[in-house]
Chain A
Amino acid sequence: MKSKTIKTLRLLGLGFIEPLIRLIGGEEQQKNLRLFFKQALLPLISILLFILIWHGGARALYNSEASARIEKARVEQGEAAAKEMESCIASGDISCQPNTLPSPVQVYHAYIALWKDHLEISRKKEEFRDKVAETNEQRAEQGLSEITYTGRPSFLDQIGTSLKTVAAGFLLAMFIAVPIGIIIGLSDSLRTSFNWLIQIFKPVSPVVWLLLVFMVVKTMITDPSMDKSFIISFISVGLCAMWATLVNTSMGVSNVDKDYINVAKVLKLNIGQNIFKIILPASLPLIFTGLRITVSVAWMVLIAIELLAQSPGLGSFVWEEFQNGANDSNAKIIVAMFVIGIIGFLLDRIMLSVQSFMTFNKTTA
């Protein structure tokens, strides 16, 4: 049981809990205690340290901005105005708060606010659904489309949209890059003839891809009911992120161990069997390495692309908050930053687990 738990944990990338489980199980107490300290406590301490430094830095920035404001009031409007500004800042009035790096506490409050906002919006959605349930039934009978809630999306909805976009982009990248990678990998001449194309397009910035996709999609899709911004952003994400998979797949396919090829030759496998029984399994580890890179690139460019394409999601959330300039906008941006980082990390973990599952070069797999 225990070893099974440990195996699952390792697969999930939560290996650092392993010593704790062994410790509770009473195995080699001293060694596991030390291991647990090293693997779990030290990161925890560093997180605390990080928050402390952040807090101190935010405090210092806040103070310098506050004194700059008071000084400005004194120079422009005299001593009385400076006094007023000082008391205004001290009272915490929104109108005169220094606008700078938010402190950890503010970010925490912004997080709570976003969560409450989400609950509020879901409640509204629920209400709306109840209200239109009858009408929708009638409309369904008449063959009309449903009336859906069109209010402002919550932060969680934005996350969902972003994940959907990245998933679509990733699938697109996979379905383009893996087959092409295999075909290119199989033939030396194809590889040399397409290499320049890959080398040139690989480093192109997401912004350019977005514009390119925009040009094409704008003219190709004229149906107004289709979600153009979603299509544009997921295609751009896919195009940006597919190169790692393409390169890795073609490398994996072209470098299959000669021994395996010899087996295929002796057995006289036909080309299809050769690809599916020998070449593909042999290059799966490299393909999954490529897919893992593709996921992280997709998630990274997604934010920028959403921001530019004005398509809903975390990117546009960040951009709107920045332009909004409300009192807690900065704090919300920081919340979004952490969410983006953590989701990216989780995506990478998932891919790592899948990858280590696919790798036969390790005895643990």
Chain B
Amino acid sequence: MTLLELKGVSKSFGTGSSKIDVLSDINLKVEDGEFLAIVGFSGSGKTTLINLINGLLFPDEGEVLLHGKPVTGPGPDRGVIFQNYSLLPWLSVYSNIKLAVDEVFPKLSKKEREQHIRKYIEMVNLTPAIDKKPLELSGGMRQRVSVARALAMNPEILLMDEPLSALDALTRGTLQEEIIKIWSVDKKTAVLITNDVDEGILMADRIVPLTPGPNATMGPEFKVGFERPRDVTEINQDPVYKRLRNDILEYLMDVGATRRQVSDRKYILPDIQPVMPGRIRFGRKRKEEQVKYF
């Protein structure tokens, strides 16, 4: 059954000469209980796409359908992990999550709510920092609070905008597993935006690339057919995995190359042959990763 459907969705910002056509003619179907990953370049419009789904933005053309009905606004049935965490700085970790839990589960008793909140804080390993304010936390810790908040809302669809991008590989791995575990318990639907193809392959049932902007649109889908529960080391040795990853990377490099030809800007390329590194991340450039592949 199709839970979420985007039909010919286009979105631009601004008017006149400063108008940017971010997304054009996006068609996407997400099945009930499916885990979908969207990979794309930085600035291609991934966050815009997520905001169209959660109802913070509305399409200029086309429509976003949830259960076959157009989305009229945001709601707690679509839990969002915002890219910039969006924690309230005057509330402690506990209170940030409590705000959401109080809203979503007004019927639970005080005790049950507290247990619920503590459970999710424990899950993201933040119990020692439970009374800290977001500004006293590191970027990765903030991201974990944001993850805990969205998961604690127990939403019908979990929308994740690069939820793990600021985390170290180890924490990332744990949280990937946790998210998968929660998702698989009652087979919620999940849409994950990521800049890490490996993360997509490990977590998703299906990966759809977003072509580079402007006028970004969905590329061909890649099915990920591995059995669940998936094991990182097992998958890593699987030849199917290597082929799949290479296919996706190749596609992304191709569209990345077209982007380079289309734009009139000149990029100075480093005089090196890329040796396929273990993990290539697309999108957000981080300070310690100044190497540009595209």
Same complex:
yes
A residues near B (Cβ < 8 Å) are 259-260, 262-263, 265-269, 277-278, 281-282, 284, 360-361, 363
The answer to whether A268 and B75 touch across the interface, beta carbons within 8 angstroms, is: yes
Sorted nearest first, the 9 A-B pairs with minimum C-beta distance are A259-B86, A265-B74, A267-B103, A281-B90, A360-B90, A360-B89, A266-B74, A263-B86, A268-B75
Known interface pairs A259-B82, A262-B56, A262-B82. Does A268 touch B103 (Cβ–Cβ under 8 Å)? yes
Q: Give the residue of A259, A268, A269, A360 whose beta carbon is less than 8 angstroms from that of B84.
A: A259
Cα A264 to Cα B136 with chains together (Å): 22
- Can you spell out 6 A-B residue pairs with CB atoms less than 8 angstroms apart? A259-B86, A263-B88, A266-B76, A267-B76, A267-B103, A268-B76
A-B contacts besides A265-B55, A265-B74, A361-B135, 18 pairs, CB < 8 Å: A259-B82, A260-B88, A262-B56, A266-B74, A266-B76, A267-B76, A267-B104, A268-B74, A268-B103, A269-B103, A277-B99, A278-B88, A281-B88, A281-B91, A284-B90, A360-B89, A360-B135, A361-B89
B residues near A (Cβ < 8 Å) are 54-56, 73-76, 78-80, 82, 84, 86, 88-91, 99-100, 103-104, 133, 135-136
Identity of the chain A residue whose Cβ is nearest the Cβ of B79 in the assembled complex: A266
Cα A167 to Cα B133 with chains together (Å): 33
> Shortest distance in angstroms between A356's beta carbon and chain B's nearest beta carbon?
14
For B103, the chain A residues whose CB sits under 8 A away are: 267-269
Known interface pairs A259-B84, A360-B135, A363-B136. Does A266 touch B78 (Cβ–Cβ under 8 Å)? yes
Cα A360 to Cα B84 with chains together (Å): 18
For B100, the chain A residues whose CB sits under 8 A away are: 267
The answer to whether B88 and A266 touch across the interface, beta carbons within 8 angstroms, is: no
> Shortest distance in angstroms between B71's beta carbon and chain A's nearest beta carbon?
12
> Shortest distance in angstroms between A274's beta carbon and chain B's nearest beta carbon?
11
For A277, the chain B residues whose CB sits under 8 A away are: 99
Binding site secondary structure of chain A: helix
For B54, the chain A residues whose CB sits under 8 A away are: 266
Known interface pairs A278-B88, A282-B90, A361-B89. Does A266 touch B80 (Cβ–Cβ under 8 Å)? yes
Identity of the chain B residue whose Cβ is nearest the Cβ of A362 in the assembled complex: B135
Residue of A266, A282, A360, A363 most packed against chain B (CB within 10 A):
A266
Cα A267 to Cα B74 with chains together (Å): 8
For B75, the chain A residues whose CB sits under 8 A away are: 266, 268
Q: Give the residue of A260, A265, A268, A361 whose beta carbon is less than 8 angstroms from that of B56.
A: A265
Cα A266 to Cα B79 with chains together (Å): 7
Identity of the chain A residue whose Cβ is nearest the Cβ of B86 in the assembled complex: A259
Known interface pairs A268-B103, A277-B99. Does A260 touch B86 (Cβ–Cβ under 8 Å)? yes
The answer to whether B88 and A363 touch across the interface, beta carbons within 8 angstroms, is: no
For A282, the chain B residues whose CB sits under 8 A away are: 88, 90
Cα A277 to Cα B100 with chains together (Å): 11
For B74, the chain A residues whose CB sits under 8 A away are: 262, 265-266, 268
Cα A364 to Cα B89 with chains together (Å): 13
Cα A268 to Cα B86 with chains together (Å): 15
Cα A363 to Cα B137 with chains together (Å): 10
Residue of B78, B86, B90, B103 most packed against chain A (CB within 10 A):
B90
Identity of the chain B residue whose Cβ is nearest the Cβ of A273 in the assembled complex: B103
For A269, the chain B residues whose CB sits under 8 A away are: 103
Cα A300 to Cα B74 with chains together (Å): 49
Cα A268 to Cα B76 with chains together (Å): 7
Identity of the chain A residue whose Cβ is nearest the Cβ of B54 in the assembled complex: A266
Cα A282 to Cα B88 with chains together (Å): 8
For B80, the chain A residues whose CB sits under 8 A away are: 262, 266
Residue of A262, A278, A284 most packed against chain B (CB within 10 A):
A262
> Shortest distance in angstroms between A91's beta carbon and chain B's nearest beta carbon?
69
Cα A266 to Cα B136 with chains together (Å): 25
Cα A263 to Cα B78 with chains together (Å): 12
For B76, the chain A residues whose CB sits under 8 A away are: 266-268
The answer to whether B88 and A262 touch across the interface, beta carbons within 8 angstroms, is: no
> Shortest distance in angstroms between A277's beta carbon and chain B's nearest beta carbon?
6
Identity of the chain B residue whose Cβ is nearest the Cβ of A278 in the assembled complex: B88
For A284, the chain B residues whose CB sits under 8 A away are: 90
Identity of the chain B residue whose Cβ is nearest the Cβ of A259 in the assembled complex: B86
> Shortest distance in angstroms between B142's beta carbon and chain A's nearest beta carbon?
12
Cα A284 to Cα B104 with chains together (Å): 26
The answer to whether B99 and A262 touch across the interface, beta carbons within 8 angstroms, is: no
Cα A111 to Cα B136 with chains together (Å): 49
Cα A259 to Cα B96 with chains together (Å): 14
The answer to whether B88 and A267 touch across the interface, beta carbons within 8 angstroms, is: no
Cα A275 to Cα B74 with chains together (Å): 18
For B56, the chain A residues whose CB sits under 8 A away are: 262, 265-266
For A278, the chain B residues whose CB sits under 8 A away are: 88
> Shortest distance in angstroms between B203's beta carbon and chain A's nearest beta carbon?
22
